[in-house]
Every structure is written in structure tokens, then in C-alpha cells.
């Protein structure tokens, strides 16, 4: 039996001042929209702001429901909105942040599996990598070049 080693390289900024102006603006916009998330069950608010190739910014936040299966994450909310409003326009960057009921969550929170799959589908659809910026309530900021860096075993159309 052999083993396969999977690795990812993530750039880490210790403060928003280390980001370029566009990335900083997206992260601040994501933080702003997280405040308006509807999360009465989890008290875990997610905000997302994405930059399209046409330089439009689209926002999204999580919207919970008592029937948990119909809840939508902030990332997918923004991605699906972008796809509906600007069909055919690729996403360049997505910033994702949280407001946690636990207080000051200093660890960046990665997208859930469903959101990772949707981000990958958008990368595949538009044949471009989507940069991902992650931050918790505060603390380190992760800069990721592509969803493939944090989703190394991808499910795609090859299997269908």
C-alpha cells in the first residue's frame, strides 16, 4: 500500500494593513454585510464580498431557516447572486468573514464543503482561479490562490 501526501500553501497576513487596497476593501465589505446575516439558530454570521472581472462587487450573507436544509451560506449567496446578475462574468476574488457568538474568533473560518464545491464549479466554468480571503472575527487573514489549494480531491464532471 502506498500513501499520497496532500499539501497546501496559504499566505498569511497578520493584519488588514498588509493587504492591497482591493483585498482590504473586500474584507471590510464582507465584515459589514456579516452584521446583517440572518442567523437566529447558530448565531454564527457569515459575510462574503466578491469581486467580478467587470469590477462589480457582489455581497452575500448566510440566511438560516428552521428547516436547516434550506439554509444558505454567505459564500453561495454571493456566488449565486453574481451568477444571476452578471451571467458569464468570472469571479476574481471572494472575501469571507464571520461574526461568531463565541466572541472574538481569531482563526480564519474556511468555506464548508458545499461552498468549496460551488467555488470550484465557478473556477471550472470560467476557467480561472478564484482568490479567497478568509478571516475570523479578527486575527490572521488567509490568502488562498485557488479553491484547489484547500480542496485537493475534487469532484467534477470527470466522474459523471
Catalytic residues: 75
* Cα 68 from Cα 41, distance rounded (Å): 9
Which of these, 92, 40, 87, lies nearest to 63 by C-alpha position? 40
Phi/psi of residue 155, each to 5°? -100, 125
* Cα 146 from Cα 120, distance rounded (Å): 8
Helix (H) or strand (E) holding 135: strand 131-135
* Cα 25 from Cα 131, distance rounded (Å): 14
* Cα 44 from Cα 159, distance rounded (Å): 34
Amino acid at each position: 500500500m502506498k500513501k499520497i501526501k496532500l499539501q497546501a500553501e496559504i499566505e498569511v497576513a497578520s493584519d488588514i494593513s498588509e493587504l492591497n487596497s482591493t483585498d482590504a476593501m473586500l474584507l471590510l465589505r464582507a465584515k459589514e454585510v456579516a452584521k446583517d446575516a440572518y442567523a437566529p439558530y447558530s448565531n454564527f454570521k457569515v459575510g462574503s464580498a466578491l469581486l467580478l472581472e467587470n469590477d462589480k462587487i457582489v455581497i452575500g450573507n448566510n440566511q438560516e431557516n428552521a428547516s436547516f436544509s434550506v439554509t444558505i451560506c454567505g459564500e453561495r449567496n454571493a456566488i449565486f447572486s453574481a451568477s444571476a446578475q452578471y451571467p458569464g462574468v468570472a469571479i476574481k476574488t471572494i472575501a469571507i468573514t464571520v461574526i461568531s457568538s463565541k466572541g472574538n474568533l481569531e482563526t480564519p473560518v474556511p468555506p464548508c464543503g458545499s461552498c468549496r464545491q460551488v467555488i470550484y464549479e465557478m473556477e471550472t466554468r470560467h476557467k480561472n482561479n478564484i482568490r479567497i480571503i478568509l478571516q475570523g472575527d479578527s486575527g490572521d487573514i488567509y490568502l488562498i490562490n485557488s479553491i484547489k489549494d484547500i480542496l485537493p480531491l475534487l469532484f467534477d464532471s470527470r466522474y459523471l
